[in-house]
Amino acid sequence: MDEKILEFFEKVKNAKTIVLAGHKNPDGDSLCSVLALAHLLELNFDVETVCLYDGNIPDSLDNVPLRKRIRYYERVEIVDDFDLAIVMDYGNPVHIGGPRNAIDRAKFIIEIDHHKNDAPIGQLCIDDDMAAATAVIVYRMIQVGNLKMDLQTANLLALAILTDTGNFKFVRDSRAFSVMADLVDAGINVRNLIELMNNKPRKAVQLEARTAAEAEFLFNGRLVVATISKKDYKHLDGRGEIVLNLLGQIQGVEYIVLLKEQKPDQIGLSIRSRKNPINQIAVAMGGGGHERAAGAVVRDTLENVRKRVVDLFKKDAL
């Protein structure tokens, strides 16, 4: 990977303008890795960067450093094609959304990702699916390039790691810890960063609490199913991770399902398991994901999706 990073620096040295983007509806890693790398490049090289996003940025990420530097793709008029495009944390080209056009028009495309990707679009790919977050790869770039890193960058990288690992629950190897140790030495304050993300509208938190309180328990409490209706969906901040976490704390619960009515007849489905794999259920519903955290977007009614998922659990796991 280090050789590819050196190649990356060669490309940056020959570029004047760089566009960066992550995946649509950015999460902490996608948003903060993009901002951190853009800032690092401007700090260390003679380049101008533009950061683009599509979809919504969760309220919990409103106060991350340099948040204002990322712009909604439709509000940026691109006159000259960029010398370099950097696409990060995207996993699959369909997840890029609106910024794809600016990326495709760039003279050279580089990707930096920790997802398994069947259709990479980069002409240079700095990919590592053992990294717990894209930010872990960005930190390696700082080390290889001996780059200057300021406190804002350190804070952004730490936020990316904290969010993508669920505060270190989902690490894949030890690097996330050693990077975090270096960031602490560089001056970050973990408690303040976690506090900074406590920034949700009252309605969002109340919705999460109510959704958990009204969830339905099946199969002797081994499966819990929570639903968010269309009229409440607009108040949901992020993907509903808090509801899933809360329900997963209950004694005897093994599987957690969250159904989100995004539009009439379009249901966002999130499934979590505390032990056994459940991604086959997400696949059967037309989606996918990790062994114990998976999901899908299903075109059907809330009631039908609920029934189909419960039936799959009945057949498969319970």
Interface with Mn ion (CB under 5 A):
29, 89, 134, 164
Q: Which is nearer to Mn ion, 15 or 244 (CB)?
A: 244
What is the distance of C-alpha 145 from the center of its chain?
26
Q: Which is nearer to Mn ion, 122 or 267 (CB)?
A: 122
Q: Which is nearer to Mn ion, 165 or 211 (CB)?
A: 165
Give every CB contact of residue 276 below 8 A, 6+ residues apart in sequence: 254, 292, 317
Closest chain position to Mn ion (CB): 29
Give every CB contact of residue 306 below 8 A, 6+ residues apart in sequence: 225, 227, 259
Q: How far is the CB of 132 from Mn ion (least distance, A)?
A: 8
Q: How far is the CB of 106 from Mn ion (least distance, A)?
A: 22
**Mapped to the 3 state alphabet, what secondary structure does 218-238 carry?**
ECCCCEEEEEECHHHHCCCCC
Angle at 219 between CA 214 and CA 288, to 5 degrees: 80
Q: Which is nearer to Mn ion, 50 or 137 (CB)?
A: 137
Q: How far is the CB of 28 from Mn ion (least distance, A)?
A: 8
Query: How far is the C-alpha of 208 from the C-alpha of 223, rounded, in Å?
Result: 18
Q: Which is nearer to Mn ion, 52 or 132 (CB)?
A: 132
Q: How far is the CB of 54 from Mn ion (least distance, A)?
A: 16
Cα-based torsion angle of the residue sequence 217, 313, 269, 222 in order, rounded to the nearest 10 degrees:
30
Q: How far is the CB of 165 from Mn ion (least distance, A)?
A: 9
Integer angstrom CA distances of residue 120 from 17, 19, 91, 160, 289: 22, 17, 8, 22, 18
The residue written with tokens 């506090």 in the block is: 195
Q: Which is nearer to Mn ion, 18 or 135 (CB)?
A: 135
Q: How far is the CB of 29 from Mn ion (least distance, A)?
A: 3
Q: How far is the CB of 88 from Mn ion (least distance, A)?
A: 8
| H/E run at residue 295 | strand 293-298
Q: Which is nearer to Mn ion, 20 or 215 (CB)?
A: 20
Amino acid at 139: Y
